[in-house]
Protein backbone atom coordinates (compact mmCIF):
# COMPACT_ATOMS: atom_id res chain seq x y z
CA UNK A 1 0.00 0.00 0.00
CA UNK A 2 1.27 3.37 -0.99
CA UNK A 3 1.99 5.66 1.96
CA UNK A 4 1.00 9.29 1.74
CA UNK A 5 3.65 11.90 2.08
CA UNK A 6 3.27 14.26 5.03
CA UNK A 7 4.08 17.06 2.63
CA UNK A 8 0.86 16.56 0.64
CA UNK A 9 -1.48 15.35 3.35
CA UNK A 10 -4.62 17.45 4.01
CA UNK A 11 -4.29 19.39 7.28
CA UNK A 12 -6.99 18.87 9.98
CA UNK A 13 -8.58 21.96 11.52
CA UNK A 14 -9.87 21.52 15.08
CA UNK A 15 -12.79 23.88 15.58
CA UNK A 16 -13.41 22.76 19.16
CA UNK A 17 -10.36 22.57 21.41
CA UNK A 18 -9.46 19.18 22.75
CA UNK A 19 -9.49 20.24 26.40
CA UNK A 20 -12.85 19.93 28.23
CA UNK A 21 -12.69 23.35 29.89
CA UNK A 22 -11.64 25.06 26.71
CA UNK A 23 -14.43 23.32 24.81
CA UNK A 24 -17.05 24.50 27.25
CA UNK A 25 -15.68 28.05 27.19
CA UNK A 26 -15.89 28.16 23.42
CA UNK A 27 -19.47 26.85 23.41
CA UNK A 28 -20.50 29.51 25.94
CA UNK A 29 -18.80 32.22 23.89
CA UNK A 30 -20.58 31.13 20.73
CA UNK A 31 -23.91 31.06 22.60
CA UNK A 32 -23.41 34.58 23.92
CA UNK A 33 -22.47 35.81 20.44
CA UNK A 34 -25.63 34.30 18.95
CA UNK A 35 -27.79 35.90 21.68
CA UNK A 36 -26.31 39.34 20.93
CA UNK A 37 -26.98 38.90 17.22
CA UNK A 38 -30.56 37.77 17.83
CA UNK A 39 -31.24 40.70 20.18
CA UNK A 40 -29.92 43.16 17.60
CA UNK A 41 -32.27 41.73 14.98
CA UNK A 42 -35.34 41.77 17.22
CA UNK A 43 -34.77 45.13 18.98
CA UNK A 44 -37.52 47.65 17.94
CA UNK A 45 -36.37 50.51 15.77
CA UNK A 46 -37.34 54.15 16.21
CA UNK A 47 -38.26 55.85 19.43
CA UNK A 48 -38.75 52.72 21.50
CA UNK A 49 -41.63 51.84 23.74
CA UNK A 50 -43.73 54.48 25.43
CA UNK A 51 -44.35 54.63 29.13
CA UNK A 52 -47.35 52.63 30.32
CA UNK A 53 -50.52 54.62 30.86
CA UNK A 54 -51.43 56.21 34.17
CA UNK A 55 -54.05 54.66 36.41
CA UNK A 56 -53.56 51.03 35.37
CA UNK A 57 -54.72 49.87 38.80
CA UNK A 58 -58.17 51.20 38.04
CA UNK A 59 -58.36 49.46 34.65
CA UNK A 60 -58.87 52.77 32.89
CA UNK A 61 -57.70 53.24 29.33
CA UNK A 62 -56.26 56.52 28.13
CA UNK A 63 -55.78 55.50 24.53
CA UNK A 64 -58.20 58.05 23.11
CA UNK A 65 -61.28 55.89 23.75
CA UNK A 66 -62.20 57.84 26.82
CA UNK A 67 -60.32 61.01 27.58
CA UNK A 68 -57.51 63.29 26.49
CA UNK A 69 -53.99 61.96 26.94
CA UNK A 70 -52.23 65.33 27.09
CA UNK A 71 -52.19 67.43 30.23
CA UNK A 72 -52.80 71.16 30.50
CA UNK A 73 -49.97 73.18 29.04
CA UNK A 74 -49.08 70.86 26.16
CA UNK A 75 -47.06 72.10 23.23
CA UNK A 76 -49.83 71.61 20.66
CA UNK A 77 -52.20 74.35 21.79
CA UNK A 78 -54.73 73.97 24.58
CA UNK A 79 -54.70 70.54 26.21
CA UNK A 80 -57.75 70.03 28.43
CA UNK A 81 -56.78 67.15 30.71
CA UNK A 82 -56.11 68.31 34.26
CA UNK A 83 -52.72 67.00 35.44
CA UNK A 84 -51.67 65.64 38.80
CA UNK A 85 -50.62 68.45 41.14
CA UNK A 86 -49.99 68.97 44.83
CA UNK A 87 -53.29 68.76 46.68
CA UNK A 88 -55.19 72.03 47.05
CA UNK A 89 -56.50 73.22 50.39
CA UNK A 90 -60.23 72.98 50.94
CA UNK A 91 -60.65 76.75 50.64
CA UNK A 92 -59.63 76.51 46.98
CA UNK A 93 -63.16 75.24 46.34
CA UNK A 94 -64.90 78.00 48.29
CA UNK A 95 -66.00 79.66 45.04
CA UNK A 96 -66.62 76.39 43.19
CA UNK A 97 -70.00 75.02 42.17
CA UNK A 98 -70.48 71.34 41.37
CA UNK A 99 -73.44 70.52 39.12
CA UNK A 100 -74.51 66.92 38.70
CA UNK A 101 -76.85 64.04 39.43
CA UNK A 102 -77.17 61.82 42.49
CA UNK A 103 -73.46 60.96 42.38
CA UNK A 104 -72.67 64.64 42.95
CA UNK A 105 -74.92 64.65 46.01
CA UNK A 106 -72.89 61.74 47.38
CA UNK A 107 -69.63 63.54 46.57
CA UNK A 108 -70.81 66.46 48.70
CA UNK A 109 -70.62 64.17 51.71
CA UNK A 110 -66.84 63.80 51.41
CA UNK A 111 -65.24 65.34 54.47
CA UNK A 112 -62.34 66.83 52.52
CA UNK A 113 -64.40 69.80 51.31
CA UNK A 114 -65.03 70.97 54.86
CA UNK A 115 -68.15 72.87 53.90
CA UNK A 116 -66.52 74.60 50.94
CA UNK A 117 -68.16 74.62 47.52
CA UNK A 118 -71.77 74.66 46.38
CA UNK A 119 -73.26 71.35 45.26
CA UNK A 120 -76.23 71.52 42.87
CA UNK A 121 -77.57 68.02 42.29
CA UNK A 122 -80.69 66.31 41.02
CA UNK A 123 -81.33 62.59 40.58
CA UNK A 124 -82.98 63.35 37.23
CA UNK A 125 -80.25 65.53 35.75
CA UNK A 126 -78.66 64.55 32.44
CA UNK A 127 -76.94 66.67 29.77
CA UNK A 128 -80.13 67.28 27.78
CA UNK A 129 -81.85 68.79 30.84
CA UNK A 130 -79.06 71.19 31.73
CA UNK A 131 -80.58 74.12 29.88
CA UNK A 132 -84.32 73.62 30.25
CA UNK A 133 -84.90 71.34 33.22
CA UNK A 134 -86.18 73.10 36.35
CA UNK A 135 -84.57 70.70 38.77
CA UNK A 136 -82.94 72.90 41.38
CA UNK A 137 -84.38 74.45 44.49
CA UNK A 138 -85.13 78.14 44.66
CA UNK A 139 -87.19 79.33 47.58
CA UNK A 140 -87.97 75.79 48.70
CA UNK A 141 -89.28 74.50 45.37
CA UNK A 142 -87.58 72.83 42.41
CA UNK A 143 -88.17 75.64 39.98
CA UNK A 144 -84.72 76.83 38.92
CA UNK A 145 -82.74 75.77 35.87
CA UNK A 146 -79.08 74.87 36.15
CA UNK A 147 -78.10 78.22 34.63
CA UNK A 148 -80.19 80.13 37.14
CA UNK A 149 -78.87 78.12 40.08
CA UNK A 150 -75.28 78.57 38.94
CA UNK A 151 -75.78 82.30 38.46
CA UNK A 152 -77.08 82.61 42.01
CA UNK A 153 -73.93 80.92 43.32
CA UNK A 154 -71.71 83.44 41.47
CA UNK A 155 -68.87 80.90 41.09
CA UNK A 156 -65.27 81.29 40.05
CA UNK A 157 -65.06 77.58 39.18
CA UNK A 158 -67.79 75.46 37.60
CA UNK A 159 -67.63 71.66 37.61
CA UNK A 160 -70.12 69.79 35.41
CA UNK A 161 -70.34 66.20 36.67
CA UNK A 162 -73.18 65.04 34.45
CA UNK A 163 -73.88 62.24 32.00
CA UNK A 164 -74.04 59.01 34.00
CA UNK A 165 -77.85 59.19 34.12
CA UNK A 166 -78.06 59.55 30.35
CA UNK A 167 -75.90 56.59 29.35
CA UNK A 168 -78.79 54.14 29.42
CA UNK A 169 -80.88 55.88 26.76
CA UNK A 170 -79.05 58.85 25.23
CA UNK A 171 -76.38 58.61 22.56
CA UNK A 172 -72.92 59.99 23.19
CA UNK A 173 -73.43 62.42 20.32
CA UNK A 174 -76.62 63.87 21.82
CA UNK A 175 -75.14 64.23 25.30
CA UNK A 176 -71.94 65.87 24.08
CA UNK A 177 -73.85 68.28 21.83
CA UNK A 178 -76.07 69.31 24.75
CA UNK A 179 -73.02 69.85 26.93
CA UNK A 180 -71.35 71.93 24.23
CA UNK A 181 -74.40 74.19 23.92
CA UNK A 182 -74.54 74.56 27.70
CA UNK A 183 -70.84 75.45 27.89
CA UNK A 184 -71.43 78.24 25.38
CA UNK A 185 -74.18 79.70 27.56
CA UNK A 186 -72.06 79.32 30.68
CA UNK A 187 -69.28 81.27 28.99
CA UNK A 188 -71.65 84.11 28.25
CA UNK A 189 -72.99 84.12 31.80
CA UNK A 190 -69.64 83.61 33.58
CA UNK A 191 -66.88 84.74 31.19
CA UNK A 192 -64.16 84.70 33.88
CA UNK A 193 -65.06 81.38 35.50
CA UNK A 194 -62.96 78.24 35.13
CA UNK A 195 -65.13 75.54 33.55
CA UNK A 196 -64.37 71.87 34.17
CA UNK A 197 -66.17 68.90 32.60
CA UNK A 198 -65.86 65.39 33.99
CA UNK A 199 -65.52 62.03 32.29
CA UNK A 200 -68.14 59.44 33.18
CA UNK A 201 -67.44 56.79 35.81
CA UNK A 202 -67.31 53.11 34.97
CA UNK A 203 -70.09 50.73 36.01
CA UNK A 204 -69.42 47.66 38.09
CA UNK A 205 -69.82 44.14 36.71
CA UNK A 206 -73.15 43.52 38.45
CA UNK A 207 -74.70 46.63 36.92
CA UNK A 208 -73.47 45.75 33.44
CA UNK A 209 -74.73 42.20 33.81
CA UNK A 210 -78.19 43.16 35.03
CA UNK A 211 -78.71 46.26 32.88
CA UNK A 212 -77.68 45.97 29.20
CA UNK A 213 -78.00 49.74 28.69
CA UNK A 214 -75.36 50.48 31.32
CA UNK A 215 -72.20 49.30 29.59
CA UNK A 216 -68.64 50.53 29.89
CA UNK A 217 -68.25 50.51 26.12
CA UNK A 218 -70.81 53.34 26.04
CA UNK A 219 -68.93 55.12 28.80
CA UNK A 220 -65.69 54.96 26.82
CA UNK A 221 -67.32 56.28 23.65
CA UNK A 222 -68.85 59.20 25.54
CA UNK A 223 -65.55 60.01 27.26
CA UNK A 224 -63.73 59.96 23.94
CA UNK A 225 -66.14 62.47 22.43
CA UNK A 226 -66.12 64.55 25.61
CA UNK A 227 -62.35 64.87 25.35
CA UNK A 228 -62.68 66.25 21.83
CA UNK A 229 -65.36 68.69 23.00
CA UNK A 230 -63.15 70.01 25.80
CA UNK A 231 -60.31 70.61 23.36
CA UNK A 232 -62.68 72.38 20.96
CA UNK A 233 -64.28 74.59 23.62
CA UNK A 234 -61.03 75.04 25.55
CA UNK A 235 -62.48 73.96 28.87
CA UNK A 236 -60.79 71.63 31.33
CA UNK A 237 -61.36 67.91 31.65
CA UNK A 238 -61.43 66.15 35.01
CA UNK A 239 -60.76 62.47 34.37
CA UNK A 240 -63.01 61.09 37.10
CA UNK A 241 -63.03 57.70 35.38
CA UNK A 242 -59.47 57.24 36.59
CA UNK A 243 -60.70 56.81 40.15
CA UNK A 244 -64.34 55.74 39.68
CA UNK A 245 -63.48 52.34 38.25
CA UNK A 246 -62.36 48.96 39.51
CA UNK A 247 -63.19 48.72 43.20
CA UNK A 248 -64.77 52.20 43.02
CA UNK A 249 -66.95 51.57 39.96
CA UNK A 250 -70.49 52.92 40.16
CA UNK A 251 -73.44 50.60 40.75
CA UNK A 252 -77.16 50.85 40.07
CA UNK A 253 -78.97 50.14 43.34
CA UNK A 254 -82.77 50.32 43.65
CA UNK A 255 -82.97 52.43 40.51
CA UNK A 256 -80.33 54.97 41.60
CA UNK A 257 -76.67 55.27 40.68
CA UNK A 258 -74.60 54.76 43.81
CA UNK A 259 -70.94 55.28 44.68
CA UNK A 260 -69.09 52.34 46.18
CA UNK A 261 -67.95 52.47 49.79
CA UNK A 262 -65.06 54.91 50.09
CA UNK A 263 -65.49 56.19 46.53
CA UNK A 264 -66.69 59.66 47.54
CA UNK A 265 -63.51 60.30 49.54
CA UNK A 266 -61.33 58.85 46.78
CA UNK A 267 -63.09 61.00 44.19
CA UNK A 268 -62.66 64.11 46.34
CA UNK A 269 -58.97 63.33 46.73
CA UNK A 270 -58.66 63.06 42.95
CA UNK A 271 -60.40 66.41 42.49
CA UNK A 272 -58.11 68.05 45.06
CA UNK A 273 -55.01 66.80 43.24
CA UNK A 274 -56.17 67.54 39.67
CA UNK A 275 -56.89 71.24 39.29
CA UNK A 276 -56.27 74.05 36.84
CA UNK A 277 -53.76 75.61 39.23
- 3-state SS, 128-195, equals HHCCCCCCEEECCEEEECHHHHHHHHCCCEEEEECCHHHCCCCCHHHHHHHHHHHHHHHHHHCCCCEE
Domain ranges of the chain: 62-272
Per residue in 192-231, pLDDT (tens digit) is: 999 999 999 999 999 999 999 999 999 999 999 999 999 9
Higher pLDDT, 13 or 269: 269
What is the DSSP code (8-state) at residue 74? -
Buried b (16+ CB within 10 A) or exposed e, 16-29: eeeeeeeeeeeeee
Q: At what angle do helices 172-189 and 216-233 cross, to 10 degrees?
A: 30
Highest mean pLDDT among 21-25, 37-41, 164-168: 164-168
Q: Which of 250, 213, 275 is nearest to 100 (CA)?
A: 250
Span 232-256, mean pLDDT? 97
The domain 62-272 having CATH identifier 3.40.50.700: the answer here is no
Beta strand pairing status for 141-144 and 136-138? Answer: antiparallel
Share of the chain above pLDDT 90, in %: 66
pTM of the model: 0.74
Q: Which of 58, 85, 57 is nearest to 71 (CA)?
A: 85
pLDDT of residue 137: 77
Q: How confident is the model at residue 172 (pLDDT cuts 50, 70, 90)?
A: very high
pLDDT of residue 50: 33
Beta strand pairing status for 118-121 and 194-198? Answer: unpaired
Using the predicted structure, report yes or no on whether residue 170 has a pLDDT greater than 80: yes
Per residue in 25-60, pLDDT (tens digit) is: 544 555 555 554 545 544 443 333 333 333 333 333
pLDDT of residue 33: 58
Q: Could you tell me which residues come within 8 angstroms of residue 224 by beta carbon, excluding any fewer than 6 positions away?
A: 64, 65, 66, 67, 172
Q: Which of 120, 119, 133, 206 is nearest to 166 (CA)?
A: 133
Amino acid sequence: MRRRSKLFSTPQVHIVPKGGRARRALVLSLGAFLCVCLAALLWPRGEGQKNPKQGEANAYRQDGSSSASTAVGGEEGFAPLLPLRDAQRARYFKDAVFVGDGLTAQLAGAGAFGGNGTFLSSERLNPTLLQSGRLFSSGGAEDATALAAIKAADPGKIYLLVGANGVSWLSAEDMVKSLGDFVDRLRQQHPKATIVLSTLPYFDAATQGDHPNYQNTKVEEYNRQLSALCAEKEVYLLDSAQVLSGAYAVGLRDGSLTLADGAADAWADYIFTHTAG
